[in-house]
A and B are shown apart, each in its own frame.
Chain A
Amino acid sequence: MRFGRRSWLLLLVSAAIVAGFVLGSDLVPWGPSDPVPENTTSTRVETVDFPWREAMFYEQLADDKVQCNLCFRECVIPEGERGFCRNRENIEGSLFSVVWGRPSAVHVDPIEKEPLHQFLPGTKIYCIGTAGCNFRCSFCHNWTLSQRSVEEIGYYPNSTPREVVNTVKERGVPTISFTYNEPTSAYEYLYDVAKKAQEAGINVVFHSNGSMSPEPLRELLQYVDAVTIDLKGFTERYYNEILGASLEPVLETLKIIREEGVWLEIVNLVVPEENDDPEEIRAMCHWIVENLGTDVPLHFSRFFPNYQMTHAAPTPISTLEGARDVAKQSGIQYVTIGNVPGHPSNSTECPDCGEILIERVHFSVHDVNIENGQCTHCGHEVSGVFQ
């Protein structure tokens, strides 16, 4: 039989395909790189292993849609989809939280890291963070949590509210903090933990971007001892362009926390050329004094390049000092500078005598000159929670 060109070609094509499959399989022991197992951490769980908790504060609409009323976005969520925060899913016309009992970050940190400077200074907090956020900040420090879904990053099991409270009690940590990502997006988890913690005599605090809607906020604050709110800037432009959010709901939140009598501290991350205009800072400080009073501690924080703003410049110290001066001139009593270890304004000064009330270096408290809520130097009544 003549081995013609067609036979040759068919032989070659078959050989190529067979070679491809054989070589492509794991039959050949000499492999350059092993496949990467996705499930490499003990905490990573791909599938849901217990029922989701039904969300609070939503309404059912026609066609199995729901409207979430937890934050200013008021997402209308079709069946089978999730809201903007990635954490609330519409299942057959009902809304569920997918991060309830599923924290993705758990650590014990100093409370100063929060920052909460005038709430039990020098103590520890049991920090809980989940996946998801309702903001899109270009500089997010915790983007691996906040800009991901729980399925992408995994979670720590055995973290129901009861289990969390028991662990915290066992470890003797006085306070639980919902932090790292936006607690609003894990509202039901925070709410249930806070209720259980209050029963067990454990403090609950949270650090938020301040975008929770008034009704759920008031409901939650009954069980909360202190709140840190990021007032990230004072213009709608900044909130829209850099944070993908809105300023107005944050201001509303600040007023509500004050009205409800929960201890409040404010953080302002000063980003060069974005929100560092002294006039903007002055306007912000005036608003704080007019609407919240003078005794809400205000922390100006130094920006370091992060996430999508990796090539930006860090904040010059003089910008932070200028902001501190503006705040003090406006009448705000407790102003500190953070993220600049060793700066004198890491410490809280007495607004009356100017002596140091709480001496701090970064997150370490070196000295507390407050007794019975009063400055040990001049007797000035210091706002905050110290016992």
Chain B
Amino acid sequence: MKGHPAAFVLAAAAVIGVVGIVIQVLLTRELLVVFQGNEFTIGIVMANWLLLEAAGALSARFGRSSRTHQWFLLALALSVLSLPLSLYLARSLRWFLGVGPALSLDLGQMAVGSFLALAPACITHGACFTFACRAYNRLAAGGKELAGRVYVWETVGTLVGAVLLTGVLALRWPAFTITAWLAATAAAAVVLAAFALVSTGLRRRWLAVGLVLLLMAVAAVPGSWVARLQEQTLALHWQGRDVLFHEDSYYGSITAMETREQQMIYYDGSPSLIIPDPDLERLETTAHVSLLFHQEPRDILLVSGGAGGMLQEIQKHPMDTLDYVELDPALLTAAARLDAPLVRQELDDPRLRTIPKDGRLFVSSTDRVYDAVILHVGEPSTLQTNRLYTQEFFSQIKERLRPGGLLALTLPGSSSHLGHELLRLNRSMYRTLDSVFSHVRILPGDINVYLASSDHGLHGVGPDEMTARLRERDLETVLVTESYLDYRLDDDRWSRFQDKISDVSGTRANTDFNPAAVYYTLGHWGAMFSPQLQRIMSALDAMGMYQWLAVFSFLLAAAVLWLWVQRRGGKPKGVQHWTIYGAVACAVITTGMAGMVLDLVILFAFQSLHGYVYQAMALLIALFMAGAAVGAWWSGRTAEGKQTIGRLAAVDVLLVAMLAVLPQYLRLAAASPVFFMAASVAAGALTGAQFPFAASCLHASGRPSAGGLAYGLDLAGGWAGALISAVFLVPLLGIAHTAWVIAGVKVLSSLLLIGAAVSTAGHFSKGTIR
């Protein structure tokens, strides 16, 4: 064992990989719950992740090389402590930021908050990896650069971590329990590394440190520590509210709370069930106003939001069957756990068939047909909920409606004044429904009720007929009465609303890959919490794909001009061949951006089509990283000689092709997640392949420390790519056009590279400039 100390470093690198991917996914998910944010927030978290990892890697450059092993052990030991610390910070972030659980956070708070929470885990992770490389180089190669092996083992660890998280842990364990296991694994690595790496005198000390940490972590798993931390962070998050229970399900985070006699279930941080006195106006309006429009609704499908009163309202109608599809069975279990008579009663109805399944999956696979389909999903503020509001889903529902059947859904409205942002959301939904159904009717109010049907009968129904049906069905309603129906179906109100909503020019329809409703809902939230940012977004809204491309082209051109001007006043420091230098620098920075955009596009598309990105995220990211490792390994073998710049350009062109075809490929590949995995590997491979080529070219251009420069540029590109695509491009342009904008950017950088290659042909051989 002592004979192969380098092997221990590789084993430790694998542990670092496991820890990295698991904590990344755990923290991302925790932060999203804390922010009550949507999937776009992943971009902000990833951008911060990159920065902090880089900071950790940089910090590792300052240790004296004679003590590399001790620094490595210290970084590993600190990472053991940093894991629960980061989780603790993430969970109690609202308390640290001074924002109560009732208030939402703005974009700035999310950026700062995630930076703070990620800092301990990311910095130590970045430092661990760099020290592992240095330690391995000293041991195995006597200083020769062999960091690639550490990279490979770290990637293997990442893959193992992802498989563990996806397959075994499946996010079902409490986050602190998973973290305790992670910490124990890292502590075990400290113990092993202490055996292998340090001299006898120090070994005892480091062994003691490692063992103590290991014991602490292992003891925390079954003991009360995890529970106590869980309770403490819950208390800090909910700031004094009475939490009944909390659990992380396969799909979301569920917290039950009690205030006096009122019990509530929060799903991913937002209220989803209130008993015993639910929001009756919402329930009665959604259920009865919709169903009274149908002459005789015998078979009804309710998609989501059933338990807690909605089922009961629907069950008041004389019908034959009610199919209730709920994505997360844990939500139903939690509702049942509250043991409220209302929930018990409605779930016991013999006409009810509860289907714990994704609404989309159910609708596309069932052969049943319905008289009415009611969507009670909550606002389309995330890609996960939005997938039940898209053109594609509406088309599937249309296939499942009987003649005369109708689809009903609600969106926020206002009985006093519909703000600009809500108006756009409502217009978008009107446009989307109108593109699928031949008849759409809206009943405006604080809750706008949308009814869509292929049957013209929808328009003929007035308050008198509805009142007659109300009596005929002998419905016991509180709010929905004759006078209420008169009020809701008031012609004057409708015509005023229609004037506003029917002008849909300039409003995007909502589709899977262009989730306009998410953007408009975010706009509505932005107007409440960050009016300034919202004004910027509204201004940018006018920009289409080509305008964005123009902006990037301009930036790229400006960068090249700047280099040219520099060259006239003397070349950039240490650079012998500025053309290569400029073109490669542009290629690296845009590849960093493209890699991140590819990664996010795959994640967002996966969420839009499959809806369980939190389980798949670890695997998709790990496969991307594995792809990058394979790509880097392959190109590293051939990254010398005069062909290098040509190969670099070839990779660039392949990246363009991938960005261009990826959206369509993912759309066609919707049926199988395996295609997403393959896309992740390919995207990673292309991104990774470019790095050694680029470093070699930069080196050849005479730039000292080319690897560091390439790393920095790649990082800057990735960081910008994450932020720009998640905050601006995807919300404004959708998934496909975001990929195409970046493809356009890569076209330009490829042209620069080809130009540089051609113009320097004959000057460039054996890695040096003649």
| Interface residue ranges, A against B (CB under 8 Å) | 3-5, 8-9, 11-13, 15-17, 19-21, 23-25, 28, 31-37, 40-42, 104-105, 107-110, 127, 129, 138, 141-145, 148, 152-153, 180, 272-273, 304-305, 307-314, 316-319, 340-342, 361-364
Task: Tell me the smallest distance from the CB of B512 to a CB of chain A, in Å.
Answer: 15
- Asked if B760 is an interface residue, CB under 8 A from chain A, the answer is yes
Q: A8-B759, A23-B550, A108-B492 are in contact. Are A33 and B579 (CB under 8 A)?
A: no
B249-273 residues at the A interface, CB under 8 angstroms: 257, 259-262, 264, 266, 269-271
Contact with A along B413-440 (1 / 0, CB 8 A): 0111111101110000000000000000
CB distance B261 to A318 under 8 Å?
yes
CB distance B759 to A316 under 8 Å?
no
CB distance B104 to A311 under 8 Å?
yes
CB distance B755 to A9 under 8 Å?
yes
C-alpha spacing A180/B579, complex, angstroms:
64
- Asked if B484 is an interface residue, CB under 8 A from chain A, the answer is yes
Contacting B36 at CB < 8 Å: which of A42, A311, A340, A341?
A311
C-alpha spacing A366/B102, complex, angstroms:
36
Q: A19-B553, A341-B478, A342-B479 are in contact. Are A4 and B759 (CB under 8 A)?
A: yes
C-alpha spacing A37/B504, complex, angstroms:
10
Q: A107-B493, A180-B416, A313-B259 are in contact. Are A16 and B506 (CB under 8 A)?
A: no
CB distance B416 to A309 under 8 Å?
no
Contacting B544 at CB < 8 Å: which of A31, A104, A314, A362?
A31
Contact with A along B520-559 (1 / 0, CB 8 A): 0000000111000000001001101111011101101100
CB distance A309 to B102 under 8 Å?
yes
Knowing that A33-B544, A129-B417 touch, tell me 8 more A-B residue pairs with CB under 8 angstroms.
A31-B546, A36-B541, A107-B415, A144-B414, A144-B419, A311-B103, A312-B101, A313-B271
CB distance B499 to A342 under 8 Å?
no
- Residue numbers in B under 8 Å from A33 (CB-CB): 508, 544-545, 732-733
Task: Tell me the smallest distance from the CB of A135 to a CB of chain B, in Å.
Answer: 16
Contacting A21 at CB < 8 Å: which of B103, B550, B760?
B550
CB distance A142 to B503 under 8 Å?
no
CB distance B553 to A180 under 8 Å?
no
CB distance A36 to B424 under 8 Å?
yes
CB distance A32 to B737 under 8 Å?
yes
Q: A28-B546, A153-B419 are in contact. Are A318 and B733 (CB under 8 A)?
A: no
C-alpha spacing A273/B545, complex, angstroms:
48
21 contacts between A and B (CB under 8 A): A9-B564, A16-B560, A19-B553, A23-B549, A24-B547, A35-B506, A35-B544, A41-B503, A127-B416, A138-B103, A144-B420, A153-B417, A180-B416, A180-B417, A308-B529, A311-B102, A314-B274, A316-B277, A342-B479, A362-B484, A364-B481
- Asked if B231 is an interface residue, CB under 8 A from chain A, the answer is no
C-alpha spacing A15/B423, complex, angstroms:
41
Task: Tell me the smallest distance from the CB of B517 to a CB of chain A, in Å.
Answer: 14
Which residue of chain B has its CB nearest to the CB of A109? B415
Which residue of chain A has its CB nearest to the CB of B752? A12
CB distance A317 to B277 under 8 Å?
yes
C-alpha spacing A108/B36, complex, angstroms:
37
| Interface residue ranges, B against A (CB under 8 Å) | 36, 101-104, 240-241, 257, 259-262, 264, 266, 269-271, 274, 277, 279-281, 284, 414-420, 422-424, 478-479, 481, 483-484, 487, 492-493, 499-500, 503, 505-508, 527-529, 538, 541-542, 544-547, 549-551, 553-554, 556-557, 560-561, 564, 579, 732-734, 737, 744, 748, 751-752, 755-756, 758-760
Closest 6 CB pairs of A and B: A144-B419, A5-B759, A24-B550, A342-B478, A312-B102, A20-B553
CB distance A340 to B529 under 8 Å?
no
Task: Tell me the smallest distance from the CB of A45 to a CB of chain B, in Å.
Answer: 14
Q: A107-B416, A142-B417, A144-B418 are in contact. Are A341 and B101 (CB under 8 A)?
A: no
Q: A13-B560, A33-B508, A35-B506 are in contact. Are A145 and B748 (CB under 8 A)?
A: no
- Residue numbers in A under 8 Å from B564 (CB-CB): 9, 13
Residue from the set B415, B505, B561 with the largest chain A CB neighbour count within 10 Å: B415
CB distance A313 to B545 under 8 Å?
no
Which residue of chain B has its CB nearest to the CB of A44? B420
Which residue of chain A has its CB nearest to the CB of B279? A304
C-alpha spacing A3/B734, complex, angstroms:
41
Which residue of chain B has its CB nearest to the CB of A122? B483
C-alpha spacing A304/B260, complex, angstroms:
16
C-alpha spacing A36/B732, complex, angstroms:
12
CB distance B760 to A5 under 8 Å?
yes
- Residue numbers in B under 8 Å from A145 (CB-CB): 416-417
- Residue numbers in A under 8 Å from B556 (CB-CB): 16
- Residue numbers in A under 8 Å from B758 (CB-CB): 8
- Residue numbers in B under 8 Å from A20 (CB-CB): 549-551, 553-554, 557
Task: Tell me the smallest distance from the CB of A247 to a CB of chain B, in Å.
Answer: 21
Task: Tell me the smallest distance from the CB of A301 to a CB of chain B, in Å.
Answer: 13
C-alpha spacing A257/B154, complex, angstroms:
75
Which residue of chain B has its CB nearest to the CB of A171? B492
C-alpha spacing A145/B422, complex, angstroms:
13
C-alpha spacing A284/B748, complex, angstroms:
69
CB distance B279 to A314 under 8 Å?
yes
Which residue of chain B has its CB nearest to the CB of A143? B528
CB distance A36 to B481 under 8 Å?
no
Task: Tell me the smallest distance from the CB of A315 to a CB of chain B, in Å.
Answer: 8
CB distance A342 to B280 under 8 Å?
yes
Q: A35-B542, A364-B484 are in contact. Are A9 and B579 (CB under 8 A)?
A: yes
- Residue numbers in B under 8 Å from A138 (CB-CB): 103
CB distance B420 to A153 under 8 Å?
yes
C-alpha spacing A29/B281, complex, angstroms:
47
Contacting B560 at CB < 8 Å: which of A9, A31, A308?
A9
Q: A40-B506, A107-B416, A316-B260 are in contact. Are A364 and B549 (CB under 8 A)?
A: no
Which residue of chain B has its CB nearest to the CB of A365? B483
Q: A317-B262, A340-B277 are in contact. Are A42 and B418 (CB under 8 A)?
A: no
Which residue of chain B has its CB nearest to the CB of A19? B553
Contacting B505 at CB < 8 Å: which of A34, A308, A311?
A34
C-alpha spacing A9/B577, complex, angstroms:
13
Contacting B506 at CB < 8 Å: which of A37, A143, A272, A311?
A37
- Residue numbers in B under 8 Å from A272 (CB-CB): 259
- Residue numbers in B under 8 Å from A310 (CB-CB): 102, 104, 270, 528
- Residue numbers in B under 8 Å from A109 (CB-CB): 415
CB distance B264 to A313 under 8 Å?
yes
- Residue numbers in B under 8 Å from A41 (CB-CB): 423, 499-500, 503
- Residue numbers in A under 8 Å from B528 (CB-CB): 143, 307-308, 310
CB distance B751 to A15 under 8 Å?
yes
CB distance A105 to B262 under 8 Å?
no
C-alpha spacing A364/B477, complex, angstroms:
13
Which residue of chain A has its CB nearest to the CB of B516? A33
Which residue of chain A has its CB nearest to the CB of B733? A32
- Residue numbers in A under 8 Å from B266 (CB-CB): 311
C-alpha spacing A40/B538, complex, angstroms:
14
- Residue numbers in A under 8 Å from B503 (CB-CB): 40-41
- Residue numbers in A under 8 Å from B414 (CB-CB): 142, 144
Task: Tell me the smallest distance from the CB of B279 to a CB of chain A, in Å.
Answer: 6
- Residue numbers in A under 8 Å from B756 (CB-CB): 5, 8-9
C-alpha spacing A41/B492, complex, angstroms:
16
- Residue numbers in A under 8 Å from B417 (CB-CB): 104-105, 129, 142, 144-145, 153, 180
Contacting A313 at CB < 8 Å: which of B257, B478, B560?
B257
- Residue numbers in A under 8 Å from B240 (CB-CB): 273
Which residue of chain B has its CB nearest to the CB of A12? B755
Q: A9-B564, A342-B479 are in contact. Are A148 and B260 (CB under 8 A)?
A: no
Task: Tell me the smallest distance from the CB of A173 to a CB of chain B, in Å.
Answer: 12
- Residue numbers in A under 8 Å from B732 (CB-CB): 33
Which residue of chain B has its CB nearest to the CB of A322? B260
C-alpha spacing A386/B279, complex, angstroms:
32
- Residue numbers in B under 8 Å from A21 (CB-CB): 550
- Residue numbers in A under 8 Å from B262 (CB-CB): 313-314, 316-318
- Residue numbers in A under 8 Å from B422 (CB-CB): 144
C-alpha spacing A15/B417, complex, angstroms:
49
